[in-house]
Amino acid sequence: MGTLLEVKNLSTHFDTEYGVIKAVDRVDLTIDEGDTLGVVGESGCGKTVLALSIMRLIPSPGKVSSGSVLFNGVDLLKLDVEEMRRIRGKDISMVFQEPMTSLNPVLRIGDQITEIIRLHMGLRRREATNHAMETLSLVGMPSPEKIIKNYPHQLSGGMRQRVMIAMAICCGPKLMLADEPTTALDVTIQAQILELLRRLKKETGASVMLITHDLGVIAQAAEHVAVVYTGQVVEYASVESLFARPLHPYTVGLMESIPKIDAVSGRDEYLKAISGTVPSLHNLPQGCTFQDRCPHTMQICREEEPQLWEHLPAHKVHCWLYKPK
């Protein structure tokens, strides 16, 4: 399978009055055709900014300061505004976290979907409406002919997220960026939405970049995983390899800190928490940014930044513990 998206050395900086914030810091990623890449990390680690950088939707004062985003071999960062607009929503689409705030409350569902279809596919109103209804039934909406006349507030959270996904897939995208698509939903609805994404991926062959903070969602839905910390990729592996042998102390810490649902009752056990908090992006320490929370900190961690080394086949880690000999 070929490479669909290749992010190379991508940095996005926000130039604020308190100094430059490196929200995304020299990130390398690839997504193959038909692949799901999970991006996992805690709040404020730059997951969303990474997706917005790929879409070129970074709000001021943010700016992509270096790197390239090759989509089918074309550098998206070099396209002019008009060319980018033709790709955005058609070839690359996005599903946002909060389906309530990302739908327009004063437009009917049908109008919101057909707007995209008419713009990108050049269909006329009636054809576009038909296509919208087809897409809605593809995402499992009962009676789409009624739904298109509804306003967002008339739908439940799960239904709204289905509408968001319908909007993302209606023009046959090659890549879908899904930013915490199930975080605002109940577990049973989350299971339905994840199953839907899985089915759509199979049927349409689209690739997915799935951004989440939930390792459970990653394990169930992704094929490759990038673990992100303070704007950097700290570990990159196939999902099997990552869960079988987590290497970076942060990944290990994350996995140990989640309560396990199928564990024998842990009533008297303590969770292994990662001590401390994520450092402020305003003043990151010199060297490795995880040094103050890491149980294995060495002298070199405070002096020099590690590189993303390939420790196991196709399993890379950004940590001095795994420096090749």
Contact footprint for other proteins (CB under 8 A):
42-43, 140, 142, 156-159, 186-188, 190-192, 194-195, 213-221, 239-240, 243, 253-255, 257-267, 270-275, 277-278
CA–CA distance, 41 with 106 (Å, rounded to integer):
34
Q: How far is the CB of 18 from other proteins (least distance, A)?
A: 14
Q: Is residue 292 within 8 Å of residue 279, measured between CB atoms?
A: yes
Q: How far is the CB of 151 from other proteins (least distance, A)?
A: 16
Closer Cβ to other proteins, 107 or 273, answer by number: 273
Closer Cβ to other proteins, 17 or 270, answer by number: 270
Q: What is the DSSP string of 64-78?
A: EEEEEEEETTEEGGG
Helix (H) or strand (E) holding 304: none
Closer Cβ to other proteins, 60 or 188, answer by number: 188
Q: How far is the CB of 262 from other proteins (least distance, A)?
A: 7
**Residue whose token pair is 């349409």:** 204
Other CB atoms within 10 A of residue 14 CB? 20
CA–CA distance, 301 with 234 (Å, rounded to integer):
14
Closer Cβ to other proteins, 267 or 325, answer by number: 267
Adjacency order of strands within the sheet including 19-32: 19-32, 3-16, 62-71, 74-75
Q: How far is the CB of 241 from other proteins (least distance, A)?
A: 9
CA–CA distance, 92 with 177 (Å, rounded to integer):
7
Q: How far is the CB of 137 from other proteins (least distance, A)?
A: 12
Closer Cβ to other proteins, 186 or 304, answer by number: 186
